[in-house]
């Protein structure tokens, strides 16, 4: 019996599959797609390559599953976080906090961002998936902004879509800089500055009618 199957689930089918995905995520996050050989993942999981091929059709299948998994979790996390508030600025802050959390508590945001860039032009299937992810993210942010504009807490002369692209991009850009130079770029501090920036920028100018 493999090391994995002896986990808390006691060998229940699907248990080890899920754990393989978890370990694969870690590997991909650390070394990228091309840098994570099947053998490396298998060794990290304490199984043989054959076991991976029993569970996943091929390497891309494993990757897609891993991505799906993390994206799903992240999006659920964001949706939940935002649901708890009605105020637009507060909701944007919660989105940013969710990103910060996923970026630092685990390396899952890094996993996503790294792979997304690596997938550009390299892997159409994966690229499509990420394109959809970012579209959803922007759509989600745009909805938050639009809602705020309707409620009168955000200025209305800024296109929601542009704001969404800017917010999503700024968070990603901050993360990349942090991943690349953690000593110089304090992610929390930069994201807080971004929130301040958003507050100043999107606030309804004083004396404007709601």
Cβ 28 to a copy of itself shortest distance, Å: 11
Residue indicated by tokens 């705020």: 148
Cβ 1 to a copy of itself shortest distance, Å: 17
- 21/9 Cα distance (integer angstroms): 15
Binding region for DNA (CB under 7 A): 1-2, 4-5, 13-14, 16-17, 36-40, 47-51, 53-55, 57-60
Neighbours of 100 (CB within 10 A): 20
Q: Is 51 in the site for a copy of itself (CB under 8 A)?
A: no
Q: Is 156 in the site for a copy of itself (CB under 8 A)?
A: no
Concatenate the DSSP letters of all residues of 61-74 into one string: HHHHHHHHHHHHHH
Q: Which is nearer to a copy of itself, 54 or 151 (CB)?
A: 54
Site string for a copy of itself, 54-93 (x = CB under 8 A): ----------------------------------------
Extract the tokens encoding 55.
């569970």
Q: Are 19 and 44 in contact (CB under 8 A)?
A: no
- 54/135 Cα distance (integer angstroms): 33
Site string for a copy of itself, 112-141 (x = CB under 8 A): -xx-xxx-xxx----x--xx--xx--x---
């Amino acid at each position: 019996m493999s090391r994995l199957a002896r986990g808390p689930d006691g060998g229940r089918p699907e248990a080890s599959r899920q754990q393989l995905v978890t370990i694969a995520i870690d590997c991909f996050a650390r070394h990228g797609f091309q840098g994570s050989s099947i053998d490396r993942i298998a060794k990290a999981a304490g199984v043989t390559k054959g076991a991976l091929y029993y569970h996943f059709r091929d390497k891309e299948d494993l990757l897609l599953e891993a991505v799906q998994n993390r994206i799903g979790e992240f999006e659920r996390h964001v949706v939940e976080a935002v649901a708890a508030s009605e105020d637009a600025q507060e909701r944007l802050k919660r989105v940013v906090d969710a990103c910060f959390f996923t970026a630092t508590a685990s390396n899952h945001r890094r996993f996503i961002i790294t792979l997304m860039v690596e997938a550009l032009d390299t892997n159409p299937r994966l690229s499509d998936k990420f394109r959809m992810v970012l579209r959803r993210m922007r759509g989600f942010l745009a909805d938050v902004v639009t809602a705020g504009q309707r409620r009168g807490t955000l200025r209305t002369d800024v296109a929601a879509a542009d704001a969404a692209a800017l917010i999503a991009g700024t968070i990603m850009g901050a993360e990349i800089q942090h991943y690349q130079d953690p000593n110089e770029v304090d992610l929390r501090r930069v994201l807080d500055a971004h929130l301040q920036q958003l507050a100043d920028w999107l606030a309804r100018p004083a004396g404007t009618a709601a």
